[in-house]
Chains A and B, each alone.
Chain A
């Protein structure tokens, strides 16, 4: 076990190094550069562009830029080229805006998908299964932005509550429960929308996993032993069907930093996804690369956690 942990930490550091090189190269090879963002702006004289290039080492060779960037990143001194703010501070601020959306969305996704998928598999071909299948295809097919606007129109028209942004402007002086209520209303739609796509896909996946397990010999053995229905399905079948989802549990970790660009844009939610999107448009390399780097670290931690969890739930796997 300890040997596995040591080995995998070293492997992951090596991987991280290559990720940093490749992502750095891709960003810099992409056409355009920060100094040319607005060449028609009359305030941007060639001298200014040159000064800008020098200030951010853009006139130096790529490998030197690479060294400068990761030195700054690892010492925590990266600043955004757009507004000179420390990048980590900007990310931290946005992170705590995105976090509630992510947590609520993920909780809804997992708590709905599993019962739906499992039930569909046990009663395959029945009315429940067929309507769940139809609904999930509908949810997969509806474009998220369209669905979002329909829901906004419905909720605003029906309940007269504001849903854009994180809170209603001018509520800061009201008692705490009004503010809490306001916050919850604002969170409701974006997190639900984030969850719908996930529910549609995950419940199908749960269903197919469960169906496969239901056909295994050991499920037949459980029935041949005369075990009651609940034990056959919810103990013998389910326990095996859940194994692959342990891997997925590790892989949702990177979602922490990704956020959802579309949903955050529609609801004017000041989250990480929107910040990353704006940084890409502005060619704000430090912000893009820092988010990218953190995402890579989270992916690696996620896979590591999955490996460990797998050992805990599946007795056949030894490290």
Chain B
């Protein structure tokens, strides 16, 4: 559905404009998210991809007001969810959105589930708080949810504690929790990173199935381009707190325009590279308090030119709709920017 869905006009469920999240302490200001724009439309799966520490998770937490404040602070930007501004809302007004209209699935299901309450209790909570269902219906609904996420013998699992389930079952329970109130959007923060590969595939196909069954949008945060190629309609590549490339998933993966996206793809192992030394990007992600001037990627970029040290280019739109923050790859003013 990827390309077709792209062309059809769709309602924007979530739009983020110029989001900035800073972490302040006495000595320094870490600009973890430094002006990020993205949007999620109804029914689509959008991937936010990037290395650890590039600000993916912080962006997601900031949307729902889940950042620890202090030290975190939202320094600017707008987050609109179905037309309402989320950043303006106080804690109580956000509670109506969290769990009810936006469900969240976290990375580490063992630590994200409360160890002293049963799975049933934890799934029932949002139903009780948001939908105010009578107890008899809550139990029915919990059983149905566990069945939907593919947990067998749900009757027994309802009374189980998180430590009594396997990693995959725990993540299924987390998903059931996020789904409980029928949200319009699911934010999944690396939901398969802590799981082994076969379980990862099951969880991905489960999320895909549920998304179509419930007509939900999914914002999927990951560092794994393999996952992106399996599930994403559109992708946003993030580096050092900014979006560096975006577009429909397949074109971006097949023909990346930004050198960072290219480097990420080159560091994936595949059959063609068998026997050869695997590429790795030299250096590491800059500390968010000490970003280099100009393009933040230039110290690690194989195609960097002198101008990259001073200017951070804006988004360059390509004729196929792909967008990247690198004129070098865009073929514009090539002689100014790049000698090759």
Contact = CB atoms under 8 A, between A and B. Distances in A.
B80 interface: no
B129 A217 contact: no
A225 B66 contact: no
Nearest to A232: B95
Interface in B141-155: none
B115 interface: yes
Given A225-B177, A226-B98, A316-B161, A218 B129 contact: no
Interface of A: 125, 215-218, 220-229, 231, 236, 239-240, 243, 313-316
B97 to A, nearest CB: 7
A224 B174 CA distance: 11
A231 B70 CA distance: 22
Nearest to A316: B163
Contacts of A314: 115-116
Given A226-B99, A227-B99, A315-B163, A221 B112 contact: yes
Q: Closest 4 interchain pairs by CB?
A: A226-B99, A226-B98, A225-B99, A224-B104
A218 B177 contact: no
Contact of A228 (B66, B70, B117, B129): B129
A226 B129 contact: yes
Contact of B96 (A125, A226, A229, A315): A226
B23 interface: no
Nearest to A223: B66
Place the interface of chain B in its size category.
20 to 34
B248 to A, nearest CB: 29
B49 interface: no
B100 A226 contact: yes
A316 B163 CA distance: 7
Given A217-B108, A225-B177, A236 B96 contact: no
A315 B118 CA distance: 9
Best-buried of A216, A226, A243, A315 by chain B (most CB within 10 Å):
A226
Interface of B: 61, 64, 66, 68, 70, 91, 94-100, 104, 106, 108, 111-117, 125-126, 129-130, 161, 163, 174, 177
Given A223-B66, A226-B129, A218 B111 contact: yes
B101 to A, nearest CB: 9
21 contacts: A216-B111, A217-B108, A218-B114, A220-B66, A221-B106, A222-B125, A224-B99, A224-B104, A225-B177, A226-B94, A226-B99, A226-B100, A227-B95, A227-B129, A228-B95, A231-B125, A231-B129, A239-B114, A313-B116, A314-B116, A316-B161
Contacts, number: 79
A243 B95 CA distance: 28
Nearest to A229: B91
Contacts of B100: 226
Given A220-B106, A221-B112, A315-B115, 15 more contacts: A217-B106, A218-B111, A220-B66, A221-B114, A224-B104, A224-B106, A225-B99, A225-B125, A225-B129, A225-B177, A226-B94, A236-B114, A240-B116, A314-B116, A315-B116
A261 to B, nearest CB: 39
A218 B115 contact: yes
A125 B163 CA distance: 34
Contacts of A236: 114, 117
Contacts of A220: 61, 66, 106, 112
A32 to B, nearest CB: 54
Contacts of B174: 221
A222 B114 contact: yes
Contact of B115 (A224, A227, A240): A240
Given A220-B66, A221-B106, A226 B91 contact: no
Contacts of A243: 116
B98 A225 contact: yes
Nearest to A218: B114
Given A224-B99, A227-B126, A231-B125, A316 B104 contact: no
A201 to B, nearest CB: 25
B120 to A, nearest CB: 13
Contacts of B111: 216-218
Contact of A239 (B113, B116, B125, B129): B116
Nearest to A240: B116
A240 B117 CA distance: 10
Nearest to A239: B116
B158 to A, nearest CB: 14
Contacts of B94: 226
A218 B163 CA distance: 13
Contacts of B106: 217, 220-221, 224
B97 A226 contact: yes
A231 B122 CA distance: 12
A229 B90 CA distance: 12
B264 to A, nearest CB: 27
B96 A217 contact: no
Contacts of A222: 114, 125
Contacts of A217: 106, 108, 111-112
Contacts of A223: 66, 98
Nearest to B107: A217
